[in-house]
Chain A
């Protein structure tokens, strides 16, 4: 891997971390944070591989004891708590967003961006987060799914926001190399 790619990985881990400083809106026990915006930006600006590794790196930074989650939370305890699944899904979410983005890179626009962000940044995150939450709490999937609905409006706003940013960054400083059938296989 080239050095520039290493820097991109570090950079997007740091971006997700910095977004944790943006005050979280607490709805009951669940903090609604700006950090999944970082997950979406990572996938749609630097692509699948670097996006995945950057969010994995972010989780490593949290795990080794840095208070990078909203409200200064961090350390290993967040991985044994009920929201662990949501966190652990972030690298996969960035990966899925990146794969879609690379696929449609030549015709990437707001619509594709929102599509990628909703699929990767919401469907994937809920699909991992809800069952883990249910398992840790010993609650039913149905109960935790209904509880997860409070994430929906905020996440939709973030999906549109991240797509709008990604479209403009693609126009002015594209990083992703397209991966579709129009390109000869490397």
Chain B
């Protein structure tokens, strides 16, 4: 093959590997493979490499303890046939307007608690504030709790500097923090210059020192640790610790004393605005349980709930019927020309909890759509507009009445996006914190 032919075939193989091969590329790939044994050999090597990568990735996963599946509450009371009655009394037509002048960074976390927190500089974040990707927190003294959209919680002990990187990662510049990850947030990662720590479920404390090293203590659960640039990883199980320096990982002295000291935790104050259920405008969270039949077909009604269908920017919640867009049966949310396709198949005859949230608005200069299934963040999309208003209470409509091939239960609308903790409480108890 010529260099150009190899390049072209590589591109086609990559598109195939990433599941974004267009029909034209598919035809092109077939032509290339039909025409040349050399091309087929190349393809078999490339495909073999993909299979090997699946294998190595699975091996790594098998080495780590598998996080337990989220608890799913069964809901025997199905009322899909009666959804229209509830629909008539609830709201959600989303009216979008005003394009932002610049693209803001997406929000990936919330400040959810603090105690005597003093921040460097003027006006630090307050509990209830959302935190953007790339935002740096410089806590001078006191405690502050950050809850990431993945569900991971991090408590900072001042003086500590932390950069919020994504819903799944943060960078510890200096100081002390404790990460706590429920099962849905297993894999949350905190890195600094001495070590990268992946919390596999449980509580892990990380403390940097003035020499550039860091001490990592698995208080409970387990964490995978690795020094930057080093391939070997150290799995810390409950009550194990290592001190990382440029030279590698060393045991921690006086661990028992430290463990008993770390077990004493100060209480945090959570003063965020309480969440309220809404019967009218400004619905920012839509949450419900849904069960889709295993044999539901794409030809049937796939729309689970639809809002504001008469408006120019309706919110549509459906299960995905188009494999080209992602997993068949996964949750698909559409708003303002953007869509999110999840990675959990709802089409399995089981009950799943779905939450769709509109985050941001005029104050923050950004508007985002977030989608959760069984408490796990499945995706975030920045919307091109920055303001959303609630609509008329009577404009709620359900697409397809009754819903074919499925059931819906415990539909709620809340007046603000839920934090991961609130969402977990809703899933576990069918009520919001505070008994709402």
- Chains A and B are bound partners: no
Interface residues of A (CB under 8 A from B): none
